[in-house]
């Protein structure tokens, strides 16, 4: 039996991905995927920090950015790595789209921080 849901996503996301109108990268003019060799000890942390710095720099230049987490399961497959031209030993961590925003982003409500001092 063939697994028709190989990425481990919830059913509603497979329906969205199957739609001809859905474009996972939102027609952004640029996709940057930060990756590293899987053997590196801190790849998730290092790539996430690089992604954050990239997104902050993009914002400073007036660009919009978005980490497209929904693409990560597919990008981590052999097919996804081939599509990116990544060596088999690399793990893609941070798929980030860049472009010019149509409008400023709306403010996001924030929760009060829960800070606990130890010491």
The answer to whether 81 and 75 are in contact (CB under 8 A) is yes
From the centroid of its chain, how far is CA 3?
24
Q: Are strands 90-99 and 64-67 parallel, antiparallel or unpaired?
A: antiparallel
**pLDDT tens-digit series, residues 69-118:** 988 888 888 888 888 898 888 889 999 999 999 888 889 899 999 999 99
pLDDT (average), residues 46-54: 97
Report the first-to-last Cα separation within the chain, whole angstroms: 56
Query: Residue 75: is it exposed, middle or buried by C-beta count within 10 angstroms (0-12/13-18/19+)?
Result: buried
State which fold the 25-99 domain adopts: NADH Oxidase (3.40.109)
The domain limits of the chain are 25-99
């Amino acid at each position: 039996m063939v697994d028709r849901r190989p990425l481990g996503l919830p059913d509603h996301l497979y329906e969205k991905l199957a739609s001809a109108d859905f474009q996972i990268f939102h027609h952004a003019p640029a996709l940057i995927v930060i990756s590293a060799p899987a053997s590196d000890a801190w790849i998730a942390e290092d790539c996430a920090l690089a992604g954050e710095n990239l997104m902050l720099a993009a914002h400073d230049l007036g660009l919009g950015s978005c980490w497209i987490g929904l693409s990560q399961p597919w990008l981590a497959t052999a097919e996804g790595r081939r599509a990116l031209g990544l060596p088999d030993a690399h793990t893609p961590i941070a798929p980030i789209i860049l472009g010019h925003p149509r409008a400023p982003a709306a403010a996001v409500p924030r929760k009060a921080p829960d800070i606990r001092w130890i010491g």
